[in-house]
């Protein structure tokens, strides 16, 4: 294969290796919580391992610290055995309907 020009460097998000640090996943709007291990994490998502099975496109929340109430909403985007790729998702904003104009307004 011939190449004419400089190689293009692919920019990736910075990842932080967490060496299977303990974390918790919550499904069913907080009804079910299970422990998992975070392999690595980036601003856009995380890679975890767990004993609980999920399907691709399932949604869950990831808690990184036991004493911390912050939960990161996630979507499962890939699965290889008991290892999962999660994408952090933002809360979906409901559309705001314009306020009705008062009668007689010009």
Q: What is the pLDDT of residue 94?
A: 47
Q: What is the mean pLDDT of residues 53-74?
A: 85
Asked if residue 40 is part of any domain, the answer here is yes
pLDDT in tens, 10-38: 565 566 766 788 999 988 777 788 899 99
Identify the CATH number of the domain in which residue 59 sits: 2.40.10.220
Q: How deeply is 99 buried, as exposed, middle or buried, from its count of CB atoms within 10 A (0-12, 13-18, 19+)? A: exposed
Cα–Cα distance for residue pair 25/14, rounded to 1 Å: 23
Domain of 74 in residue numbering reads as 16-88
Residue 59 inside a domain? The answer is yes
Specify if 66 maps to a domain.
yes
Burial class (CB in 10 A: 0-12, 13-18, 19+), 30: exposed
Domain membership flag for residue 93: no
In a domain, 43, yes or no: yes
| Confidence at residue 57, expressed as pLDDT on a 0 to 100 scale | 80
How many domains in the chain?
A: 1
pTM: 0.67
What's the pLDDT at 67? Answer: 74
Q: Is 106 a domain residue?
A: no
């Amino acid at each position: 294969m011939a190449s004419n020009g400089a190689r293009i460097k692919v920019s990736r998000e910075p990842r932080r290796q967490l060496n299977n640090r303990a974390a918790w996943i919550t499904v069913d709007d907080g009804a079910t919580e299970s422990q998992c291990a975070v392999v690595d994490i980036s601003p856009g998502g995380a890679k975890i391992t767990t004993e609980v099975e999920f399907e691709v496109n399932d949604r869950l929340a990831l808690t990184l610290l036991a004493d911390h109430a912050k939960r990161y909403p996630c979507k499962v985007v890939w699965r290889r055995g008991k290892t999962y790729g999660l994408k952090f998702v933002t809360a979906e904003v409901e559309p705001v309907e314009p306020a009705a104009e008062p009668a007689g307004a010009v």
